[in-house]
Amino acid sequence: MAGRIGSLIGRWHIGRAAGYWAKQTQAAARIDVAALHRLRGEARALRRQIDVVLQMADDRLALPGLTAGLPRMPLGTDWVWRPDLWRGPLALPGKIAPSARTPLSDDFALYHDCPLGEVALRQIRNQTEADRAPFGLVLDVFGFQGSFLSLAFTLPEAGIAGLGARHLVELQGILHSDAPLPAFARLNLQHGPNVAQVVSALPMVRAGLSFAEFDLAYAGLGPRPVTKAWLDLIFNDPGMNRVTLRDLVVSRRPRAEL
């Protein structure tokens, strides 16, 4: 009831304000200069606030929702994660990457060994109806004389809790590149002093959904629990290319018992 009354009062105030400014529109042509100065000041102050509301509304309505668009997961999936870079705006949305390691968020960094340093990355807003994540990442590579370029994502604690040989880990990404680009994904699992690795080749990146699955039964995990895990998305021969990652989602599920 209180909410309905508040809504009615708000509409009443809006109606009164609209009526007031309709009258001022007519009065502006005939009032004296001093009164016109005051009226212009009031109008400018109100316009600033309205412009802020309109800008915020346009920005939000132009994007997929922050909770939108997680892909359908196989039955039994017990954890799904989209890194922060694809979920919300970063404080620093872009960087040149001249050095070996360039972090862009707490869970994401770019690595390469190119001495030229002609690599740039920036966060973008996704704006098409097909986009399922609010934000994306653009990677521009110009001259490249290095041996590797990779994007590394550290999995949160929830993703590694209880992770073991009975699990399957899945990576889904929506990738676009100006030219076909060989790529593969590598899951790294730290258990005790050792790091186990599982590698999965990705389809030749050009446009659309890329998919990789890691069966931890073949990772060579020992009895010690996994204490850290990260994914590397590695591109071969990335020079003179632009790669856009419109989404990235990691999930896990236990293997069906036989």
Share of the chain above pLDDT 70, in %: 84
**Sign of the dihedral defined by the CA atoms of residues 165, 166, 172, 178, in that order:** positive
Q: Which pLDDT score is estimated for 109?
A: 92
The full set of domains in the chain, from first to last, is 2-61 (no CATH), 79-254 (2.60.120)
Q: Which pLDDT score is estimated for 159?
A: 94
Residue 117 has pLDDT above 90, yes or no: no
What mean pLDDT do residues 243-252 have?
93
pLDDT bucket at 67, cuts 50 / 70 / 90:
very low
Q: Which pLDDT score is estimated for 171?
A: 93
Tell me the pLDDT tens digit for each residue of 118-136.
889 999 988 877 788 889 9
Q: Which pLDDT score is estimated for 66?
A: 47
Residue 61 has pLDDT above 60, yes or no: no
Of 4-18, 27-41, 119-133, give the lowest mean pLDDT range. 4-18
Tell me the pLDDT tens digit for each residue of 41-56.
888 888 777 766 765 6
Residue 232, beta-bridge partner list: 152, 186
User: CA angle, corner 88, sides to 201 and 236, nearest 5?
Assistant: 25
Tell me the pLDDT tens digit for each residue of 216-238.
999 999 889 999 999 999 998 88
